[in-house]
Amino acid sequence: MDHSTDEKLEKKEMDTRSLSSSRHPSLNIHKVGVPPKQNLFKEFKATVKETLFSDDPLRPFKDQSGSRKFILGIQAIFPIFEWGRRYNLTKFRGDLIAGLTIASLCIPQDIGYAKLANLAPQYGLYSSFVPPLIYAFMGSSRDIAIGPVAVVSLLLGTLLQNEIDPITNPTEYRRLAFTATFFAGITQATLGFFRLGFLIDFLSHAAIVGFMGGAAITIALQQLKGFLGIKKFTKKTDIISVMHSVWGSVNHGWNWQTILIGATFLSFLLFAKYMGKRNKKLFWLPAIAPLISVVLSTFFVYITHAEKNGVAIVKYIEKGINPSSVNEIYFHGEYLGKGFRIGMVAGMIALTEAIAIGRTFASMKDYQLDGNKEMVALGAMNIVGSMTSCYVATGSFSRSAVNYMAGCQTAVSNIVMSCVVILTLEFITPLFKYTPNAILSAIIISAVINLIDFQAAILIWKIDKFDFVACLGAFFGVIFSSVEIGLLIAVSISFAKILLQVTRPRTAILGKIPRTAVYRNIQQYPDATKVPGVLIVRIDSAIYFSNSNYVKERILRWLTNEEEQKKADYQPRIQILIVEMSPVTDIDTSGIHALEELYRSLQKRDVQLILANPGPVVIDKLHASNFTNVIGEDKIFLTVADAVSSCSPKLVEEA
C-alpha cells in the first residue's frame, strides 16, 4: 500500500516537472559561451590583417613555385600583363572606337581645364598624354578615362594662386603646380601601398554630392569671364565677388561678338547632350560636339578676324610632346611645404573622384575593382606626370561615361586617346591659334552641369536629414566662400556625424511580440508588450569611453521614466533590468566601469541587472575585468527570452 502511494507521488512529481519544463524553457537554457584565450601577438596580427588586408592579397601566391610567384607579382603591379594575354582584335576594335571618341572630347576640355588651373593650354594636353599611358599599364579599371578634370583643376588653380600670382610670376607658379602634382601622387601611392584607402571613405557620399554641385556652379561662374569677354575679372571664387565683377563691367566690359559665339555654341552643346540622353545610339554626338564647336568657332574667327573686335583667342599653344620638368619641382625651400599641403588636398579629392567613378562602372560591368591598386596606379601616374610637365590628372566622369557608352573593353582606350593627343601636340596645335576663349568657356559650362546631381540630393533628403545638412554645408561653403572652405565644411560635417553617432548611440525599449519568444523595439512594433516588473533595454552600439557615460545615464533615464509611469498606473514596480547586448560589438575599460556604476545604482533601487547575449569580445572582457563575478554568472543569458523566463517566469506567463 505504502509502496503504491510512493509510486503515485513520484509519477505526479515527474508530470509536474514535465509541465513546468514545457511552460518555462528556462530548464533548457544555454549559457553564453566564453571564447578561448588567444595569444596576444596572434590576436594583434589577426586585427591588423583584417583591417589592412581584408581581401587577402597574397592568396594567389599560396602553393605557387618561385617563378610563378614572380609572374604573379609582375601582374599584380602591372595588370596589363594579365588581361593582355586574352586581348584580341574584337576587343581592340571596341577600344579603338572608344579611344577616338574620348580623344575628340578631351582635347577641347583639356585646353579649357588648363585655364581653370591658370596654366598654359598645352599643359592640359600634356596631362592627357603621359598619365593615361601609365594608368593603362597599372590600373585595374577597364572603363576609367584619365585626364584633367574640372573640380581638381579649379581646386589646384585656387590654392596655387593664393601662394603665387600666375600672371606676374608664371614660372614659379608652374613649378609649384608640378610640385603639388608630385606630392599628390606621393599621397595617393602611399595610401595605396600601406592599404589606407578606407581613409577616403570618411568623406561621405552626401558631402561629395554637395561639394561637386557647389564646385560645378563655381566653375560655371568662373567661365563668365571668357563667355562674356570680360578682361578685368575677380580672382575670388565666391558667388558674391564673381557676380559683382560681372555686373560691374556690364556697361563697358562685355563684348557682344564673344557673347554671340559663346551662346550659339553652348546651345549646340546642350542640344547635343540632350539628344545623346534621349537616344542612347547617339552617344557619340555629345562626345564629338565639343571638337566640332572648336573647329567651327576657330574657322569663324579666322575668316572674320573677330579677334580685332575684342574677341579673346587662345593665340598660341606650344608644339611638341611633354618636356621634362624634373628640375622644376621644389624639393627644398619655402615652397616645398606649400606644394606638399596643396598636393595632399588635391590628391585626396582626385582619388575620391576616381575611386567613385571606377566603382560605379565596375558594378555596371560586374567585375571587382581593387581600390588599393587603383591608388598606387593613380599615384604613380601623377608622380611620373609631375616630371613630364603634367598637373594632377584623375578619372573623368564625363569621359569615362563616353568611354563606357562607346564600347570600351580595356584600358587600351586610354592608350588610343594618348596617341591622338600626341599627334595633336605634334601637328595640330598651331590650328588652335584662333580658337576663341568663349568656346572653351561654353565647353566647360556644358561639361560641369552634370556635376549638379539634383536626384541624388533629393534622395539624400528622403533617407537621412543629417546627411542632407552635410550636403548643403559643402554646397554653400563652396559657393559663398571658396573651394577649400567647402571641402573643409564637408569633411567637418562628415566627422561630426561620426562623432554624434559614436557619442550618442541609439537605445531602445524592447517588448514581447505576441505568441512568440521574440523581443523587439516597441516603437517599431506597437503590438509588442512589456513584461510586468521587467525593463528590457537594447544598446545599438559598441560601448567606448566616448559614450559609456551617456549609455549608463540613458538606461537610468529609461528606468526612471518607466518607474514613474508604473507608479502613475498603479502597476508593479520594475524589479529587473535586462540589457540586450547583441549589437554591442566591443567594450573598453570605460564601458565596463559604466556597467559597474550602473550595477551599483540599480542595487540602491533594489533592481536586478541582467545581461543578454554579449558577443565574444564583450564577454571575454567582462570575464577579464571580473564583472561577471560581480553580477553573477547566473545573470548572463543567451537570449532575452531565456533571461525573462528564468528570472520572472510568472510575470511572463501573465504577459
Q: Residue 128: name the closest of 427, 420, 443, 354 by CA.
A: 420
Give the pLDDT band (50/70/90) at residue 97.
very high
Q: Residue 576: pLDDT above 90?
A: yes
Is pLDDT of 385 > 90? yes
- Higher pLDDT pick, 17 / 337: 337
Ranges 43-47, 261-265, 273-277, 619-623: which has the least confidence: 43-47
Residue 233 has pLDDT above 90, yes or no: no
The length of the chain in residues reads 655
The CA–CA distances, whole Å, from 194 to 176, 340, 385, 623 equal: 27, 19, 22, 35
Identify the weakest region by mean pLDDT among 293-302, 437-446, 489-498, 611-620: 489-498
For residue 54, what pLDDT is reported? Answer: 67
Residue written as cell 600672371? 167
Mean per-residue pLDDT, 41-57: 72
Q: Per-residue pLDDT for 575 more than 80?
A: yes
| pLDDT score recorded for residue 76 | 86
> Lowest-pLDDT range, 158-167, 498-507, 545-554, 595-604?
498-507
Amino acid 420: pLDDT:
95
Biggest CA-to-CA distance, the chain: 131
Q: For the residues of 195-256, what is the DSSP string, one character each?
A: T-GGGGGGS-HHHHHHHHHHHHHHHHHHTHHHHHT-SS--S--SHHHHHHHHHHTTTTT--H
Q: What is the pLDDT of residue 174?
A: 96
pLDDT per residue as tens digits for the range 512-523:
999 898 999 999
CA distances from 349 to 152, 389, 440, 484, 631 (A): 7, 21, 24, 11, 51
Average confidence (pLDDT) over 471-486? 89
Collapse the DSSP code of 539 into the 3-class scheme (helix H, G, I; strand E, B; otherwise coil) and give the result.
strand
**Residue whose grid cell is 570575464:** 623
- Average pLDDT in the chain: 88
Domain boundaries, the chain: 87-495, 505-647
pLDDT score for 648: 62
Question: What would the pLDDT profile of 386-416 be if each residue is shown by its tens digit?
Answer: 999 999 999 988 889 889 988 899 999 999 9
What one-character-per-residue DSSP string does 51-120 give? HH-TT-TTGGGTT--HHHHHHHHHHHH-THHHHGGG--HHHHHHHHHHHHHHHHHHHHHHHHHHHHTT--
Interval 120-135 mean pLDDT: 96
- In this prediction, residue 11 carries a pLDDT of 47
- pLDDT for res 567: 86
pLDDT of the residue at 470: 87
Residue 22 is predicted with a pLDDT of: 37
Whether the per-residue pLDDT at 96 is higher than 50: the answer is: yes
Beginning with the edge strand found earlier in the chain, give each strand of the sheet holding 534-539 in spatial order. Answer: 519-521, 507-512, 534-539, 576-580, 608-612, 636-637
Mean pLDDT of 571-598: 93
Q: Which fold has domain 505-647?
A: Transcription Regulator spoIIAA (3.30.750)
Distance CA 355, CA 188 (A): 11
Does the structure show a pLDDT above 70 at 216? yes
d(CA 511, CA 641): 10
User: Looking at residues 335-346, what average pLDDT do you find?
Assistant: 95
pLDDT value for 28: 60
pLDDT, position 18: 37
Bridging pattern class, strands 519-521 and 507-512: antiparallel
Percentage of the chain exceeding pLDDT 90: 58
Judged against a pLDDT cut of 90, whether residue 492 lies above it is answered with no
| DSSP-derived secondary structure letter, 587 | B
Please give the pLDDT value at position 323. Answer: 95
Phi, psi values for residue 53, rounded to 5°: -130, 45
Among the residue ranges 41-50, 67-76, 510-519, the one predicted with the least confidence is 41-50
Q: Tens of pLDDT along 289-330?
A: 999 999 999 999 999 999 888 899 998 899 999 999 999 999
